[in-house]
Amino acid sequence: MQNLLQNLNPEQLAAVTLPPQSALILAGAGSGKTRVLTTRIAWLIQTGQVSPAGIMAVTFTNKAAKEMLTRLSAMLPVNTRGMWIGTFHGLCNRLLRTHYKDAALPQAFQILDSQDQLSMIKRLLKANNVDDEKYPAKDLMYFINNAKDQGLRAHQVEAYEPITRKFVELYELYDQQCQKEGVVDFAELLLRAYELLSRNAPLRQHYQMRFRHILVDEFQDTNDLQYNLLKLLAGQGEQGGGAIFAVGDDDQSIYAFRGANVGNMMKFEQDFRVQNLIKLEQNYRSHGHILDSANYLIANNSQRLGKNLRTDAGQGEQVRVYEASKDLEEAQWIIEETKSLMADGVPRSEIAVLYRSNAQSRVIEHALFAAGMPYTVYGGLRYFQRAEVKHAIAYLQLMDNPHNDSAFLRVVNFPTRGIGVRSIEQLQMAADAYGISLYAAVPYMTGKAGTSLGAFVKLIEGMRMETQQLALPELVRVVLERSTLLAHYQTEKEGADRIENLEQMVNAATQFVQEEGFGQNAPAHLGPQAQAQAGQPVVSGDGLEIIDADAALATVMSPLAAFLAHASLEAGDAQAQAGQDALQLMTVHSAKGLEFDAVFITGLEEGLFPHESSSREDNGVDEERRLMYVAITRARRRLYMSFTQQRMLHGQTRFNMKSRFFNELPEESLKWLSPRVQQGNWFSNRKATTAWDDADFRSGGTDNQIARQITQKSGGGSGWRIGESVAHAKFGEGVIVNIEGGAGAARAQINFGAAGMKVLDLSVAKLERVAR
């Protein structure tokens, strides 16, 4: 045990060894959060305070759950299977599979991903003749998910306007349709689990007694439903509840837009009468100037729990700030700096380029490609989201639950088998008339449509029969062949990658069967009862039939059903990382939780970062500031920040002011690489020794063309140029966006940021040039 606690700092040690009561750990960036979390679990078990089965640890991503599991098994010689470690959705899935009857779900219920959900909603709108101009499918989806995230069913949503009332009505219809098809969306997994536990007292008490310790990662990201679910599980307000060990950082709350409620941290403190609040402020990642910048910036937010990061690593280098003339030049500068970093021995993969929105990557990618610099863009299509993989999955879904209409529609005519839109329309009508699924409605079809649809049903039935005794990987193989998906892509010219992805699915199935503890040769269709008889332990507790969670999935689900759930809940990796030694490009959001030796934060301009739409939301800029805080704290040794005078966005050139965040950073920690451009004619100063002037000059042709355009547009002798920073007595600092009219009568359109866009007469307005 000494080993376990060795090398923990005093705060970490205190957190790990807290008494068995609910506690809030305020874990700063790079403060060893995961270490505390896993060591806490190991310590609890090793000191005999709890058995592995008494542990529940919840995360938001599969990656985090996996990480925890890996670290834990390195620490403890205990079988981690007994513990409930996973994502909110994964654990709810497990709960609902075990108690599907009590949750009023079919045993083979399937999980809709966002894509499926949207297409289902579109179908619903069409079926009910709803004007999708007035009630866009996306808005309805947002409405439904939002309501569910707050724990509200359709009848519980307050609706005062006609639009909302219609949404509520459609929400109800949507839920009915899901129930009919035997499918649940992501939010439904949580809501069902919540409702199951809140209605079923014996079951609730069983789990309350079982889970003595519930550990929650990234607590600041919980939404209301997740919070209430935790509260229920911990038995708050009932006897015998367990303790919640909540770890989070309110300063890194950046997911309000998807329902996360930072307020849950404060609420938790009160609801659970938290005695122990521990702050982990010792940072093991970044040098001093970087941390100073982060601390200084985030101090501009109000309503914080309060925290200041510190380091023993010394001040290190200042943050390097660069002003580019335009977006492409910003990208070129990044390349130059990257080369110099690499010359200093920084591996390329240890350098990250961050941006606020995905659209910004294009210009950077373009420049990187032209320069022959290897790079990887994070995000993009994940494995199980790719069209061909989704098609294969749809066949598998139909074999396990033919009433899944989304799956049915996806592949009923793919590869094409002469089933056109008219046939589908007829089928849909029959299904609606009898209130049954499309699949079930097929026998009611007559004529040509009936024949071709009947053949499709026969195909699915045939595949099911044929694979009855096969293990999952073989079953997948058969389905790929029999569905003619493989043959289809073989005739396609760009089909090679798709075929590879499909072949990959057999491997994925093999790996899945192994990792989930299904027998290597267990028939993929084998039902849970047969599984149980095959020797899986089933224990009962408290007079309830509670299935031992040690083998929960293998006990309650067939390998096929489990694999399908896995495909929905874990979308898999994005495209193969193109070369290990590549520059890392990603949004600030996806950078959360990662760290790099050197980090570029790009596009630090008003309107972009902070993003313009954030000013319209309550506390929107505070959230942007937290996002900036996350970005800064990704860097270990060197941090760059850049902004440009001119940027192309949505086919339009924009002139933005530099981000307000620059005013919120400690001047002594910044090193301005591009000397402030002095007033006067911008182009006559081109030979000045400013970094961007030099770079601009070197890059030749294109720049000169742009320079010419700008000269033409520069208000012909008004003395001002577009893109220039100015100050006005009343409106403050701004940027000239456009100049109209000739000398003497020129008027300038000026973006004053917070004060808005103004058109001023240049002969009247008193403007001053601003050195940036």
Partner DNA sequence: AGTCTCCCCGTTTTT
Partner DNA sequence: CGGGGAGACT
Which residues are annotated as part of the binding site? 27-34
* From 20, 306, 347, 418, residue interacting with DNA (rule: CB under 7 A): 418
The upper half-sphere exposure of residue 136, i.e. CA atoms within 13 Å in the direction of its Cβ, equals 3
* From 236, 587, 656, 690, residue interacting with DNA (rule: CB under 7 A): 587
Binding segment for DNA (CB under 7 A), chosen from 283-291, 337-345, 368-376, 413-421, is: 413-421
Binding segment for DNA (CB under 7 A), chosen from 73-81, 86-94, 165-173, 458-466, is: 86-94
| Tally of helices (H runs) and strands (E runs) in the chain | 30, 21
The answer to whether 320 is a known catalytic residue is no
Q: How far apart are CA 636 and CA 294, in angstroms?
A: 12
Instruction: Give the three-state DSSP class for 758.
Output: strand
CB of 650 to DNA, least distance (A): 4
Cα-to-chain-centroid distance, residue 612 = 21
From the list 11, 12, 33, 636, the catalytic residue is 33
Per-residue interface string for the shown chain with DNA, residues 89-128, x marking contact by CB under 7 A: xx----------------------xx-------x------
CB of 191 to DNA, least distance (A): 12
Site for DNA contains 590 (CB under 7 A)? yes
* From 38, 87, 311, 404, residue interacting with DNA (rule: CB under 7 A): 87
Count of residues binding DNA (CB under 7 A)?
A: 41
Instruction: Give the three-state DSSP class for 283.
Output: coil
Q: Report the site for DNA in 146-185 (rule: CB under 7 A).
A: none
CB of 612 to DNA, least distance (A): 8
Looking at the Cβ atoms of 194 and 731, the one nearer to DNA is 194
The answer to whether 116 is a known catalytic residue is no
Site for DNA contains 428 (CB under 7 A)? no
Per the structure block, which two tokens stand in for 702?
């294109």
From the list 231, 307, 634, 654, the catalytic residue is 634
Q: Report the site for DNA in 276-335 (rule: CB under 7 A).
A: none
Q: How far apart are CA 617 and CA 106, in angstroms?
A: 41
Nearest one of 193, 96, 68, 79 to 550, comparing CA atoms: 79
Q: How far apart are CA 759 and CA 757, in angstroms?
A: 7
Binding residues for ATP: 27-34
Asked if 570 and 59 touch (Cβ cutoff 8 Å), the reply is no
Site for DNA contains 416 (CB under 7 A)? yes
For the chain, the first-to-last Cα distance in angstroms comes to 57
Looking at the Cβ atoms of 192 and 747, the one nearer to DNA is 192
Binding segment for DNA (CB under 7 A), chosen from 54-62, 244-252, 527-535, 683-691, is: 54-62
Site for DNA contains 570 (CB under 7 A)? yes
Looking at the Cβ atoms of 201 and 578, the one nearer to DNA is 578
Site for DNA contains 186 (CB under 7 A)? yes
Looking at the Cβ atoms of 83 and 586, the one nearer to DNA is 586
CB of 364 to DNA, least distance (A): 13
* From 286, 614, 674, 751, residue interacting with DNA (rule: CB under 7 A): 614
Peptide bond into 402 cis (omega under 30): no
The answer to whether 218 is a known catalytic residue is yes
Site for DNA contains 419 (CB under 7 A)? yes
Looking at the Cβ atoms of 362 and 708, the one nearer to DNA is 362
* From 648, 673, 707, 727, residue interacting with DNA (rule: CB under 7 A): 648
Q: How far apart are CA 654 and CA 86, in angstroms?
A: 44
Site for DNA contains 379 (CB under 7 A)? yes
* From 356, 638, 647, 747, residue interacting with DNA (rule: CB under 7 A): 356
User: Which 3-state string (H, E, C) describes 180-215?
Assistant: HHCEECHHHHHHHHHHHHHHCHHHHHHHHHHCCEEE
Looking at the Cβ atoms of 66 and 758, the one nearer to DNA is 66
Per-residue interface string for the shown chain with DNA, residues 8-47, x marking contact by CB under 7 A: ----------------------------------------
Binding segment for DNA (CB under 7 A), chosen from 532-540, 583-591, 691-699, 707-715, is: 583-591
CB of 420 to DNA, least distance (A): 4
Tokens 């981000």 sit on residue: 659
CB of 127 to DNA, least distance (A): 14
Per-residue interface string for the shown chain with DNA, residues 222-261, x marking contact by CB under 7 A: --------------------------------xx-xx---
Amino acid at 771: A
The answer to whether 110 is a known catalytic residue is no
From the list 113, 116, 185, 217, the catalytic residue is 217
The answer to whether 577 is a known catalytic residue is no
Q: How far apart are CA 99 and CA 528, in angstroms?
A: 12
The answer to whether 634 is a known catalytic residue is yes
Q: How far apart are CA 380 and CA 23, in angstroms?
A: 37
513-to-78, 294, 463, 517, 625 alpha-carbon distances in Å: 21, 45, 20, 6, 44
CB of 298 to DNA, least distance (A): 17
Binding segment for DNA (CB under 7 A), chosen from 172-180, 513-521, 611-619, 713-721, is: 611-619
Residues in contact with 42: Cβ distance below 8 Å, sequence separation at least 6, in sequence order: 4, 72, 75, 76
Peptide bond into 415 cis (omega under 30): yes
Binding segment for DNA (CB under 7 A), chosen from 1-9, 351-359, 397-405, 528-536, is: 351-359
Amino acid at 487: A
Binding segment for DNA (CB under 7 A), chosen from 554-562, 599-607, 648-656, 737-745, is: 648-656
CB of 455 to DNA, least distance (A): 13
Site for DNA contains 650 (CB under 7 A)? yes
Amino acid at 608: L
Q: How far apart are CA 768 and CA 300, in angstroms?
A: 28
485-to-36, 463, 476, 524, 685 alpha-carbon distances in Å: 48, 14, 12, 20, 63
CB of 670 to DNA, least distance (A): 25
Q: Give phi and psi for 347, each to the nearest 5.
A: -65, 145
Q: What are the residues facing 608 on neighbouring strands?
A: 611
Question: What b-and-e string marks burial along 77-99, b requiring 16 or more CB atoms within 10 Å of the CB?
Answer: ebeebbbbbbbbbbbbbbbbbbb
From the list 252, 338, 426, 555, the catalytic residue is 252
Q: How far apart are CA 597 and CA 220, in angstroms?
A: 26
* From 314, 535, 651, 700, residue interacting with DNA (rule: CB under 7 A): 651
Per the structure block, which two tokens stand in for 17?
């060894």
Site for DNA contains 384 (CB under 7 A)? no
Per the structure block, which two tokens stand in for 523?
């028939």
CB of 313 to DNA, least distance (A): 29
Looking at the Cβ atoms of 92 and 157, the one nearer to DNA is 92
Can you spell out the DSSP letters for 538-599?
---BTTB----GGGHHHHHS-HHHHHHHHHHH----BS--S-SS-EEEEEHHHHTT--EEEE
Tokens 């910036």 sit on residue: 297
Site for DNA contains 188 (CB under 7 A)? no
β-strand pairing of 243-248 with 213-216: parallel
* From 94, 212, 611, 660, residue interacting with DNA (rule: CB under 7 A): 611
Q: What are the residues facing 641 on neighbouring strands?
A: 321, 601
* From 9, 17, 34, 61, residue interacting with DNA (rule: CB under 7 A): 61
CB of 510 to DNA, least distance (A): 22
Q: Give phi and psi for 111, each to the nearest 5.
A: -105, 125
Tokens 């938790």 sit on residue: 268
Which residues are catalytically annotated? 33-34, 217-218, 252, 634
In the complex, the residues that contact DNA under the rule CB under 7 A are 60-63, 87, 89-90, 113-114, 122, 186-187, 254-255, 257-258, 356-359, 362, 379, 413, 416, 418-420, 569-571, 586-587, 589-590, 611, 613-614, 617, 648, 650-651
